[in-house]
Amino acid sequence: MKTEECPKFGPLQGVKVVNLTMAIAGPFACGLLADLGADVIGIESPLGRDTSRPTGPTLQGWGTQMERRNTRSLCMNVKEGAGRDFFFELLKDADILMDGFRGGQMAKWGMPDEVLWEINPRLTIVHISGFGQTGDPDYIGRASFDGIGQAFGCFMDMNGFPDRLPVLAFPQVSDYYAGFMADLGALAGYINASKTGQGESVDVAQYESMLRCEGFYAVNYLNTGALPVREGSHSTSSAGYGTYICKDGVPIYVLILGPGVVKKAIPAFGLEYGSDLFPVGTPVVPFGSEAGDVLEAAMEKFFGEHDAEEAERIMLECGVPASRIYNFAIAEKDPHYIARESFTEWKNSYNDDTIRGVNIVPKLKNNPGQIWRGMPLVGADNEDILEELGATPDQIAAMYDAKLLKKEETPFG
């Protein structure tokens, strides 16, 4: 598919993104941009496709089916020969380049930021790696996956129960956090380059993305020396703040916090607001206190006598924040999910089947995003993209012969 054949929509139409990433963080970041209209060209190596792509009937690569929708695919070796030349040609009118390699990898290929800016001075280069592009040399080149980002970034230590080992938060939290940070940096760089003509280099370290989203806990430790305590399924500081099991065995999450909510919640559980235990204006009921024990006992009794759907309705009618703990089977039947079309479907780009998945987030009123194409097969757009860069049919054929290009005929390779 050529550029002129791609639909024009959304606030990012006209923004050209070159994606050199694999797996989750980078494709997620680029997928969000593509959903809002950016022209995203995903480049994969002929020596190794994205490991998150489908590999067979039992491993359908569902995440990649979503993150690579709305994109074009070029399977080309960018490190050498004609592939390197055409990669540089592609960058001449690109706005954003995303790299998902270990720290310093592109510099090792002779492609440091300064070389790329000689090709395109206004290019925003986003490096997504586990440990960043600078720092202790022993760390920069380390490999990283989601679990490593959570472990090194102090996030895993806060998850789980206090009397057990820390647990990995699911699904792939550090990958998605890093993807969000990559988009923030990419768009900040792009906006500034649009004003000044000067490109930017964005250094996203996976573990730092986690740290930035641990604000209170990190600052609390750095200023008081107090390490966070793993809370499990219930707050260790506030009563009425956690998971409860209802009569039908369905869990519900309730959050009683703030004077307004406390005022509404206490009578809902048959207790007296304004009493010695629950004085007027109480902002929080401390967990483990006499009042906390009384409240917890009343709540356990209440939820044990009501099915989850009824308990949720009563809580919400009283003005107490609460939600049954959903799974996807519950979610797809929920009227709010349905009304907002939180789930949707789109057509495959390579056959007549459709894919069900998550709709575009965020929703924009005046310039909404679109899903116009499913995940392309590896190398599906090789010829179209290279012809736009000035390659002749003979040059393209020679690149295939030299194994600088590759094209797959099925989603499984």
What is the distance between the alpha carbons of residues 234 and 249, in angstroms, rounded to a whole number? Answer: 17
- 58, 33 contact by CB (below 8 A): no
The pair of three-digit structure tokens given for residue 255, joined into one six-digit string: 């959050």
The secondary structure of 235-272 as a DSSP string is -SSBTTEEEEE-TTS-EEEEE--SHHHHHHHHHHTT--
99 is an active site residue: no
Distances (CA, A) of 44 to 26, 94, 407: 12, 17, 10
- If DSSP codes are grouped into helix, strand and coil, which group holds residue 200? strand
Query: Which of 232, 231, 250 is CA-nearest to residue 312?
Result: 250
Q: What are phi and psi of 163, to 5 degrees?
A: -100, 15
What is the distance between the alpha carbons of residues 239 and 284, in angstroms, rounded to a whole number? Answer: 8
Q: Which of 39, 99, 113, 175 is catalytic?
A: 175
| DSSP letter, residue 228 | P
Q: Which residues are catalytic?
A: 175
